[in-house]
């Protein structure tokens, strides 16, 4: 178990699923965390699961709202005295279908939340703490960004952009700030349920490891990339796919 005592993390989209699992893992390893999401009541339940105010605070709001971004970062530094780790987990995929048929407004919204707001969060954290003190950023991308993604093309395109953003920021912010990403395949969450519900066994058969991912699979990888154990890693996207891409040739 890595030791993150004395470190503070801010995790977006963390009231449930992958984001909450990341927060739980970081708390287990000694960090204090600020979690964000849209619904205050769900966040309050998550803070309780994380051990209460000694270990976690919550700031509700939309991930792409600049006022929310500034408040969450400021509240984190005020509550815990630092902001050493930023995990950009918030993401949306409000449409399902061929990209050619997609409403341009929906396409813009996907990129606004999944890409542009990620850069905005990094800018806020950089201004408030990371720029002077250093730290780590981990972005949650997706294997959908590594090639054509049937029926979720806009989401895949946004995650491809996020991986490029990760590499660009890693180059620009070195040596003080490490920036990496994880790219999960299907993880069993409400967010991804349309991709496996009612046919999980069939979908899992396409994975060499024989199962879909669970949030803890992603949390462990994020905790590693955020920790000193990954001190010589930056600009990388770690694929977490149960071996899926072995069969696709990507």
Active site residue 155: yes
pLDDT band at 15 (very low <50, low <70, confident <90, very high): very high
Strand order in the sheet with 56-60: 56-60, 32-37, 8-11, 85-88, 135-140, 177-184, 237-240
The CATH fold of domain 8-236: Rossmann fold (3.40.50)
- Bridge partners of 181, per DSSP, are 139, 237
Q: Whole-model pTM above 0.85?
A: yes
> Do the beta carbons of residue 62 and residue 68 sit within 8 Å?
yes
| Residue-wise pLDDT tens digits, 65-102 | 999 999 999 999 999 999 999 999 999 998 889 999 99
Contacts of 116 (CB under 8 A, 6+ apart): 64
Q: Could you tell me the pLDDT band of residue 1, with boundaries at 50, 70 and 90?
A: low
How far is 50 from 15, CA to CA, in rounded Å?
A: 11
- Where do we find the tokens 């949650």? 140
The whole-chain average pLDDT of the chain stands at 94
Q: Which entry of 96, 155, 196, 207 is annotated as an active-site residue?
A: 155
């Amino acid at each position: 178990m890595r030791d993150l005592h004395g470190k503070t993390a801010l995790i977006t989209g963390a009231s449930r699923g992958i984001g909450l699992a990341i927060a739980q893992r970081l708390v287990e390893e000694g960090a204090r965390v600020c979690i964000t999401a849209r619904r205050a009541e769900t966040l309050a339940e998550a803070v309780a699961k994380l051990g209460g105010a000694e270990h976690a605070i919550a700031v509700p709001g939309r991930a792409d709202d600049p006022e929310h971004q500034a408040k969450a970062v400021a509240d984190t530094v005020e509550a815990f005295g630092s902001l050493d780790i930023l995990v950009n987990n918030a993401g949306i995929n409000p449409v399902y279908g061929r990209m050619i048929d997609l409403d341009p407004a929906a396409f813009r919204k996907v990129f606004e939340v999944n890409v542009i707001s990620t850069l905005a969060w990094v800018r806020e954290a950089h201004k408030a703490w990371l720029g002077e003190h250093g730290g780590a950023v981990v972005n949650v991308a997706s294997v959908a960004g590594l090639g054509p993604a049937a029926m979720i093309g806009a989401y895949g395109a946004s995650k491809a952009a996020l991986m490029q953003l990760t590499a660009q920021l890693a180059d620009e912010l070195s040596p003080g700030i490490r920036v990496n990403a994880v790219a999960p395949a299907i993880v069993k969450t409400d967010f991804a349920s349309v991709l496996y519900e009612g046919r999980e066994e069939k979908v899992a058969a396409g994975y060499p490891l024989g199962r879909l991912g669970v949030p803890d699979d992603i949390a462990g990888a994020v905790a590693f990339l955020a920790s000193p154990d990954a001190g010589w890693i930056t600009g990388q996207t770690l694929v977490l796919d149960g071996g899926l891409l072995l069969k696709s040739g990507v």
